[in-house]
Amino acid sequence: MNSRLSSPLSTQDKDPFPSDIPPQTVSRKSRPASWWQQPLRWWYYLTAPPEAPANARLDQREAARRGRLASVVLFFVILLVLPAIPSAVGNPILTTTLALVLIIDGVALVLNRAGKTNLAGILVVISIEIGLATSVLTVIGGFGVSNLPMFDLMVQAECVAVSLFVPSSVFFVAIANSVFFVCVLNLTPITPELSHLLQTDGSRIISSPIILQVIVAIVTYLWVSSANKAILRADRAEEIAALEQREIERQQHEIEVKQQLDLGIQQIMNTHVQVANGNFSARAPLSKDNVLWQIAYSLNNLLARLQGYNQMQAQQKRMQAEIYRLQNALQSASSAQQELQRTKEAATRLVNTIQQSKDGSIHPSQRSGTVIDSIVTQLSNPTVSSEPKKTFPLDRTRTASR
């Protein structure tokens, strides 16, 4: 009995009164994509990591955002490299460099799809630096004044670095680019025109691309830093809103649990009152949705057993009454049989006595304890009634005195 009563309580090991509610995933209704968004979605599907779920942590959402940004950056980097391929025909070094850049970008796409965005970003920055440095170093006839704008293109690496890494990484790229500019202007072959400009106005020639690198680094650092802070604030606000929603749901759940407790306790008390009044067929009507359904199940199980025992006891009482009635009937039948036997014996004795009275010789017999004994006695003493009454001496005295 104890094992059956404890079985429903052992089916669940969890607390029936949870103190916390697991966060619910908020379903976002996706709007139909425009014609220009469909290719972008396919590009994200092929090259970007999976989108973070709605209930993901801040770091997971930031990693997904950076992965999509890296996917877009790689798309434009590859798009800028492709037009340079026709101009590299005839220059084996530049052709090899562009092929190497495309291979590095392809590997970066695979790594970005696998979620390794930092490694993919490093490869992108390296590919940009290799491609632009090769273009600068393989200028036919030496680096000249007309090639100075090529230094300005190296800000691409800064933009990629500040977008995919921490904002402060842009300064390391700017320093590396500045050192490269100085080395190119002082250690590589240059045209006489550029050499003359360096001798007459060298500080301006060298400082112009370096200043551009510094300005771009500072601006992009401030811009990306403020954007990251805004994104962080938005993420925190969204998380706070989710926490508030969870708190509201938890409070609502507590209110529902309290209402279920009140209702369940009232129904269980009513069941106890009915059972106390002798109604063993009463049951606690609690469903599995109620937090007290396990207690109600155990109580109903106990009441069912008590009802069965009560029915068995009533049936046993009826059987005992029937057995007692049968015993009385058997005893009555036995007494009647004995009385009939005595009556038969007395009737036989009476017949014998009558027969003997006819013959004139009546012998005394054993008394049977029935009314026939008086008849037999009368037949045995026929002269008793004919004898005169005897008078006592007191009667004779009274007669003499009269």
- The answer on 169 and 246 residing in a single domain is yes
The answer to whether position 32 is within a domain reads: no
The answer to whether position 26 is within a domain reads: no
**The total number of structural domains that make up the chain:** 2
> What pLDDT is stored for residue 242 in this prediction?
83
CB atoms within 10 A of CB 274: 16
Q: Is 397 exposed, middle or buried (0-12, 13-18, 19+ CB in 10 A)?
A: exposed
Q: Give the range of the structural domain holding residue 299, as residue numbers without chain letter.
A: 293-379
- The answer on 316 and 213 residing in a single domain is no
- The answer on 360 and 241 residing in a single domain is no
d(CA 192, CA 145): 9
- The answer on 301 and 246 residing in a single domain is no
Q: Per the structure block, which two tokens stand in for 270?
A: 């009513």
d(CA 86, CA 290): 75
- The answer on 237 and 313 residing in a single domain is no
The answer to whether position 314 is within a domain reads: yes
> 171-207 in b/e burial notation, b at 16+ Cβ within 10 A?
bebbebbbebbeebbeeeebbeebbebbeeeeeebbe
> What pLDDT is stored for residue 365 in this prediction?
58
- The answer on 184 and 52 residing in a single domain is yes
pTM beyond 0.85: the answer is no
Domain finish residue from 215, 250, 285:
250
> What pLDDT is stored for residue 36 in this prediction?
67
CA diameter of the chain: 207
> What pLDDT is stored for residue 251 in this prediction?
92
Per DSSP, the residues of 326-389 read: HHHHHHHHHHHHHHHHHHHHHHHHHHHHHHHHHHT--------SSTHHHHHHHHH-TTTTTSPP
Q: For residue 143, list its beta bridge partners.
A: 190
- The answer on 313 and 241 residing in a single domain is no
The answer to whether position 48 is within a domain reads: yes
CB atoms within 10 A of CB 112: 28
- The answer on 298 and 222 residing in a single domain is no
- pLDDT average per 10 residues of sequence, the chain (402 residues): 40 40 43 68 86 76 84 86 78 83 89 88 89 84 86 88 87 92 88 88 88 93 90 84 90 87 85 82 79 81 83 87 88 82 77 72 60 67 49 45 44
- The answer on 110 and 225 residing in a single domain is yes
The answer to whether position 347 is within a domain reads: yes
- The answer on 236 and 354 residing in a single domain is no
- The answer on 297 and 245 residing in a single domain is no
> What pLDDT is stored for residue 65 in this prediction?
84
Going by the DSSP 8-state scheme, the letter that residue 52 receives in this structure is P
CA distances from 198 to 139, 191, 204, 238 (A): 18, 11, 8, 56
- The answer on 138 and 46 residing in a single domain is yes
The answer to whether position 2 is within a domain reads: no
Domain finish residue from 190, 223, 250:
250
Listed residue (185, 206, 83, 178) closest to 136, CA to CA: 185
3-class DSSP assignment, residue 286: coil
> What pLDDT is stored for residue 178 in this prediction?
92
Residues 6+ apart with CB under 8 A from 208: 148
Domain finish residue from 228, 250, 272:
250
> What pLDDT is stored for residue 173 in this prediction?
92
The answer to whether position 331 is within a domain reads: yes
The answer to whether position 268 is within a domain reads: no
